[in-house]
Amino acid sequence: MSEELRKRRENHSEQFVITARKLAEFLESVEVEEALLIQRLSDLEARSLQAQPRPSTKNADQDTDRLCESPPATDTQPLADPPASFPIYGEI
């Protein structure tokens, strides 16, 4: 019985010879496939952006005008000196 198990293990390990060359070829093929999938994803994103409706020129101009306007004036006061109760630390 043990002889049969030993023989099976030997036969099994002979089927899976891994060399540095085979490993390198596999890794290279995976990198190529990954690059292809990344490109496909990028292409899909580009198509979805192109398919989205574009805002009309009139609305875009109004949005641009709003962004270029100055913010409304507010009453601001300069910051006061810190109260004496705060500790003052020396330079680092």
Radius of gyration of the chain (CA): 35
**What does the pLDDT read at residue 6?**
82
d(CA 90, CA 52): 57
pLDDT reading at 66 higher than 60: yes
- Structural domains of the chain, count: 1
Chain segment 27-45, per-residue pLDDT in tens: 999 999 999 999 999 999 9
What pTM does this model have? 0.39
Residue 43 lies in a domain: yes
Q: Sign of the C-alpha dihedral, residues 44, 50, 51, 52?
A: positive
Residue 30 lies in a domain: yes
Residue 39 lies in a domain: yes
- Tokens of residue 45, six digits: 């994103």
**What does the pLDDT read at residue 8?**
81
Q: 25: domain range? A: 20-52
Q: Which of 26, 31, 5 is nearest to 16 (CA)?
A: 26
